[in-house]
Structure 1
């Protein structure tokens, strides 16, 4: 009797989990299509890639797309309990760790570009050149790789040879071999995102001061820049909350497993997927010039 009750209770749970997986696949497929459309538009219209804001936007799209793919792979493997050797998991997690930082740091660079354009318009053309944009992307990747380099060094120094061939379900947590590594990881993440958030707030306050004294077309442009910075701050807030998700999930797991599954699914949608899906909406829909280019690209694709 107990076995039958367990089996009956498992059916709705399994159906709910299947439904959740399908929803994630639809969302990821939808935003990957949007990203691909906007990437092709940026590269077809060469004029966009001569301006820093669009070069940085392209960098965001090119990092968010593989991030969505890698997180989806880990989600599917975890759902179906697919194991892999740790060396293969390491390759996936290296890409995931790098792309985790590229997006918020690029958003910070885009915010600084808006700050220069609005608060220092006479120097915008001098500072935000195509060459400086490429240098900025190299700096973004360099800063993003620092946490990864630290943890790879610790892992390679601590892991035994037999560990590389052990089959396991791939998560980032399998590479944390000591409890102090988790504290170090948390401290580095908090330092990065606190620094980023301070920069965002600084830019927002400065742009807001300019908006108060601006008039006419300048006021409209400044207000739009202010809104863009506010949206970046919202994205970064979601990214920052995602750093606390593992601690929340660990506490919930001690209470109820089903609740843990639901909380983890909610965190994945709201704090991991959502921030990566906002950039194409912010720049793809709010930027009139780029939105017109996307519409033109779509029309040519249907002919």
Structure 2
């Protein structure tokens, strides 16, 4: 009995450490995204330029996913059930913005393609007005999987189901195997289309890079690296779409194994792709990075002045 209690205590300690570590990481990246969003609104150039507007959309999308996924994680960790109708609202936003991010990345790749391969038309196509239309299109396309997945829940559940209390996981709402398969297949088709678009843009930009010279060549190569990073993000997002199918299978076999695999998947395929967006534009982009440094230093200077003022008065 002592041995069993010791093992249980060790397992419980490991779960709490793992959960606490994840909370620290999530708070850090949500705070980083918030800082980048504030920087975006501090300079008019950013919110009148297509690629920075799309970058802000990706940041907001990632922040929504991280925040709501963390709420689900907290409820799961403390084993807190909520009513199904409330869970569906959370799940709707998570499913929607899980798709908004990769669709936005695809549109950002197309914007780089237009900027490099059709520079004379870039100013005409990528105006602020058109970018707002693109954002509406992004959300419209992203809502299609969300509507279809929810439809499979609505057709197979009675009205009493929505008043029940359960742990807020979409896998528990998809009660039939065909629903899981439909969800996975839907995402695969969507991401296959996105991957084809990214590969097409990469090939076209590569051709321009070979023909370019001097500053144009340097700029084109930077655009090529950006497209590659977007492609890597999309690859992680594509793998992420297989995760629910794997997790739902494990849930039927072993709950402990399901929790461990879900934790690993969350780190590698949910968190990692959303950490690359700040890296690609927040740190690699010289203009944005200078604005970020200026904002940070000005805020730090103001905090120091406020802290020193009482000392000087004394």
Interval containing the TM-score (normalised by the shorter chain)? over 0.9
Q: How many residues align?
A: 301
Could you say which residue in structure 1 is the equivalent of 2:28? 30
CA distance, structure 2, for counterparts of residue 248 and residue 135 of structure 1 = 36
Report the CA distance between 1:73 and its aligned residue.
0.8
Please show how residues 51-70 of structure 1 align to structure 2 within 5 Å.
51-70=49-68
Determine the structure 1 residue equivalent to 2:311.
none
Distance 1:212 1:273, change over 3 A: same
Alpha-carbon separation, structure 1, partners of 2:255 and 2:18 = 16
For 2:173 and 2:148, the matched residues in 1 are separated by: 12
1:117 corresponds in structure 2 to 115
C-alpha displacement at 1:131, in angstroms?
0.6
Distance apart, 1:157 and its partner CA: 3.1
Q: Which residue of 1 aligns with 2:125?
A: 127
CA deviation after TM superposition for structure 1 residue 190, in Å: 0.4
Displacement of 1:265 in angstroms is 1.3
Alignment match, 1:269: 267
The aligned residue for residue 101 of structure 1 is: 99
Trace 1:35-184 onto structure 2 (pairs within 5 A). 35-184=33-182
Give 5+ residue unaligned stretches, structure 1: none
CA RMSD of aligned residues (A): 1.5
For 2:7 and 2:239, locate their aligned partners in 1 and report how far apart those are by CA, in whole Å. 33
Q: In the aligned structure 2, how far is the partner of 1:89 from the partner of 1:147?
A: 18
Distance apart, 1:255 and its partner CA: 6.9
CA 1:84/1:256 → structure 2, altered by over 3 Å: closer, same or farther? Answer: closer
CA shift digits 1:15-52 (9 cap, x unpaired):
11111111111111111111111111111111111110
Q: TM-score scaled by structure 2?
A: 0.92
Alignment pair present for 1:279 and 2:280:
no
Question: Per-residue deviation at 1:253?
Answer: 5.7
- With over 3 angstroms needed to count, the CA separation of the structure-2 counterparts of 1:155 and 1:247, relative to structure 1, is closer
CA distance in structure 2 between the partners assigned to 1:33 and 1:248 by the alignment: 31
Name the TM-score, length of structure 1 as normaliser: 0.95
> Which stretch shifts more, 166-175 or 256-265?
256-265
Query: Which residue does 1:17 correspond to in 2?
Result: 15
